[in-house]
């Protein structure tokens, strides 16, 4: 059986889980120990040298990075296909994926840093939240235009383009920033949320969010060491949170990409 190192709150991991279910593949999900504190190790670190989720284990094959995992699943188990048939359409959904991974995701992540971890307060917190919500509105407008009059981002049927959007839209909806009511994107999210693959991943996400410990208190005690990498770091600085980064470095509560050992 396949093994997936993941976390229910990770949109990247949700992407992989949705794809696995859509492919009809059984898998065992594991949350690596020490994710919050940045102290993961063992078999997980051997499989994922950057210590990042998701990571897929298929017997003696280890695959990390959500996009590469989706590509691996499509290569090894081509049926049912997730990618659309034409090269142009494949490129289109892959570009949507890149936007979701690098532009959309840090806004969801940033809201968590401010509202749950309480990294900032006062004017800085207000600036960061406004930055996130303004960006999400613009990106949702872009997604609405990408969807057009099609029922799915993949075209006539659910596929890659939908797998890579559903986790992020579900996360921002849970954070109080759903697509505009009555929009094509809002209707799409309703349809996507009814698919068992998406519904299960969202249910797991909501369960963890509902039972979340006091993250701000844990952060204050130095029990949390969150990763700030590329697009997330860019988001924080662009939103006016460079002081948050500096404070996190000084207190040892943020980290950057881990180098292979």
pLDDT at position 135 = 98
For 154, residues 6+ apart whose C-beta sits below 8 A from its C-beta are 82, 84, 89, 93, 160, 161, 162
β-pairing verdict for 254-255 and 226-227: parallel
Closest CA to 63 of 77, 79, 49: 49
Q: Does the pLDDT of residue 142 top 90, yes or no?
A: yes
Q: How far is CA 37 from CA 40, 56, 259, in A?
A: 8, 22, 16
Structure tokens at 220: 């204050």
- pLDDT tens track for 187-198: 999 999 999 999
Clarify whether residues 98 and 156 are in a common domain: yes
Total structural domains within the chain: 2
Range of the domain at 37: 2-76
The predicted model scores a pTM of 0.96
Clarify whether residues 101 and 172 are in a common domain: yes
CATH code at position 171: 1.20.1050.10
pLDDT at position 66 = 98
pLDDT at position 97 = 98
Q: Does the pLDDT of residue 259 top 80, yes or no?
A: no
- pLDDT tens track for 154-185: 999 999 999 999 999 999 999 999 999 999 99
Q: Does the pLDDT of residue 260 top 80, yes or no?
A: no
Q: Does the pLDDT of residue 232 top 90, yes or no?
A: yes
Alpha-carbon distance of 94 to 65, in angstroms, equals 14
Q: Does the pLDDT of residue 39 top 90, yes or no?
A: no
Clarify whether residues 205 and 109 are in a common domain: yes
Clarify whether residues 14 and 126 are in a common domain: no
Q: Is residue 65 part of a domain?
A: yes
Mean pLDDT of the chain: 95
Clarify whether residues 111 and 188 are in a common domain: yes
pLDDT at position 34 = 82
Q: Is residue 235 part of a domain?
A: no
Please report which helix (H) or strand (E) contains residue 176, including its range: none
């Amino acid at each position: 059986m396949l093994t997936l190192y993941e976390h229910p709150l990770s949109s990247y991991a949700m992407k992989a889980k949705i794809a696995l279910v859509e492919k009809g593949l059984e898998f065992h999900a594991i949350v690596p120990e020490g994710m919050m504190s940045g102290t993961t190790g063992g078999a997980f670190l051997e499989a994922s040298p950057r210590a990042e989720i998701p990571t897929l284990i298929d017997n003696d094959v280890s695959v990390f990075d959500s996009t590469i995992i989706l590509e691996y699943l499509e290569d090894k188990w081509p049926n049912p296909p997730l990618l659309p048939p034409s090269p142009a359409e494949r490129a289109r959904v892959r570009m949507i994926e890149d936007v979701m991974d690098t532009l959309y995701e840090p806004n969801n992540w940033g809201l968590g840093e401010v509202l749950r971890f309480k990294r900032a307060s006062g004017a800085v917190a207000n600036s960061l939240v406004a930055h996130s919500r303004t960006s999400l509105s613009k990106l949702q407008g872009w997604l609405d235009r990408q969807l057009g009059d099609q029922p799915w981002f993949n075209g006539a049927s659910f596929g890659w383009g939908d797998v890579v959007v559903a986790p992020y839209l579900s996360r921002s909806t849970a954070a109080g920033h759903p697509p505009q009511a009555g929009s094509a994107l809002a209707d799409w999210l309703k349809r996507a949320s009814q698919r068992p693959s998406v519904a299960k991943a969202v249910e797991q996400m909501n369960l963890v969010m509902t039972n979340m410990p006091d993250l701000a208190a844990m952060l204050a005690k130095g029990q949390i060491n969150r990763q700030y990498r590329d697009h997330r770091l860019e988001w924080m600085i662009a939103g006016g949170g460079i002081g948050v980064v500096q404070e996190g470095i000084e207190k040892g509560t943020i980290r950057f990409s881990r180098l292979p050992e």
